[in-house]
Chain A
Amino acid sequence: MSKIKLLLVIGASLLITNELPAQGLLNRIKQKASQVADKVADKKIDEALGGSGSGNNSNKQGTGSTSSGSRKSNPSNTSGQGLVSTPPNVNENLSAAETAFKAGSYGDARYAVQQAMLGVELQIGQSILKSFPETIANLKKDTIEDQVTSTGWGWAGLTIHREYKTGDKQFTITVANNAIWMQALNMFFNNSGYAQQNNGEQKWKQIKVKGNRSVIEYDKSSGYKISIPLGQTSLAILEGVNFATEQDMINAANQLDLDAVKEKLGEK
């Protein structure tokens, strides 16, 4: 019985000792094959990109464990001129609404009025963007980030967005014509007992920006934020990243012509 046990132990040990070098060899072959595949793929990519950088390929061979299958992906879009900017024509849509209304097609009339309203709101938004200064707190305007969005739902929302930035300092303006946001902000003004401090640290407080009651907040990760109600249904949100002090932020906010924004939005 003991001989059988001894034979079993010897057999098992032989199997293990034979398998280990075989596994190592297989791994090395697999690694080599993968490296070759990567090298070929890189060469092809470089050729497709104009042949540059092929000399550095050898440096890119690292662990070589990337499978060639992961390189198969859908092409990225690199051409195309995008959509032509076509804000709805207000007069045409008003005429279309009139025609549809007379014909009793109220759904079509509604659609045309919504389009006309969209056209007017986009024009209002653009005129507000034009009223903003070229620079604020020595930060230059970044017109690429200019945005005017309208849902065409009337009361539901016209939003105007502008960014000013230099280096890591940024000032963002968002003007929203949105009654629901206003309700949230009015909570601050209507509840004088609402806590302004957490653990002795001031999180927000009320200030005045050009005579308008406002709320200033500070957050370590996002910086300063000033919310200014404009009339009955509009709101300006100013955000400052990497502004040194609260006063710097308020000074920047004071550079805005809020009365002009109010007037363009028809707010009193």
Chain B
Amino acid sequence: MKVSDRRPPTTDQPLAMRSNPFSGLIPVLRKEAIHIRRDPMALFFTVFIPMLQLFMIGFAINTNVRDIPTAVYDGAQTQESRRLIDRFVNSDDFEVVKYVMSDDQLNREIISGRARVGVKIPPDYSRRLLAGQTASYLVLVDGSESSVAGEALNVANAIALRESLERSLSVTAIRQTLPVEARPKVLFNPDSRSANFLIPGMIAVLMQMMTVLLTAIAIVRERERGTLEQLYMTPIKPLGLMIGKIVPYAVVAYTEIALLLFFMRWAFDVPINGNLFLLILLVTPFIMTMLGFGLLISTRARTYQEATQAAFGTMMPSIFLSGYIFPIDTMPVFFQWISRIIPTTYLIEIFRGIILRGAELQDLWKQGLILTVMSIIMITVSALRFRKKTG
């Protein structure tokens, strides 16, 4: 059991990385890649769970209001009242589910939730109309679902307005068409599909969850096992350790984003109108920010559970304040400020810009710049904290 008869000079061994600030990067990177390979279940879940969420949410959520269940009480039972009801029946927004014969029944339908909207045409509707007076009809709207209520009010008003105009014009004038008509055209998302609006944002949120969690856990796992302590005793430098840990997970993150975009395009039929390479380019500072944030969590969290909780805790603001679901423009100013410091806000703007509007770098350089600055700050802060801990 000889140790080595040909002992190299002890003070000048062939040491490649004596005062290299990235010392240890390559071995850490290789080791981390083995960890990922060795745990196919973990890899499967980190890749699969976001995809599952994409499918669940993508198919389930539809914020477009269509076919609002509507109950009708036609008290007039005249040609004019039926024409009005037809307008409701023929609109995409309403679906007449029940005809009732009294105010009570109309109320019951709404209270029970069977109908969201009740239309009541009073008995004197035709008489007042023919007498040249204002004929009114009552629209009851269930306010417990605000998006439905808003849509119902708008459309009910529009129906009344159109009916009024057509009636007054056809009585007095020669022309058969309305003098002015708005021809709205919804750009970039012609059918106003929720999927087009939601999925790009959802991918941003899923990316955040995945990257933060992966990196936070990668370091905390070493701390829990005691291997981090061992690494501190070696010539590994904090930067080498950090980057060696980040890069493999960045690769996983890019793979994930490619998969999510693939399913967005082919399963949900959301077209990518802009440049895919620009998209990948602008995703990079976001991924770096999130990986840095994961590292920051790992410098504080002692255990796996703590890291997971911290990662999920910081998800909430990103979901609600990033414009993913609720528009930022309608938030109180204070929350608008907060949304401006959430990186996901910018990634969602970039995603929607490129995917839906076909925006180019000249339109999105600001978001890209902000994310780049954020990533530099985040990685620097976590590296400094990391250095403090390692000494």
A binds B: no
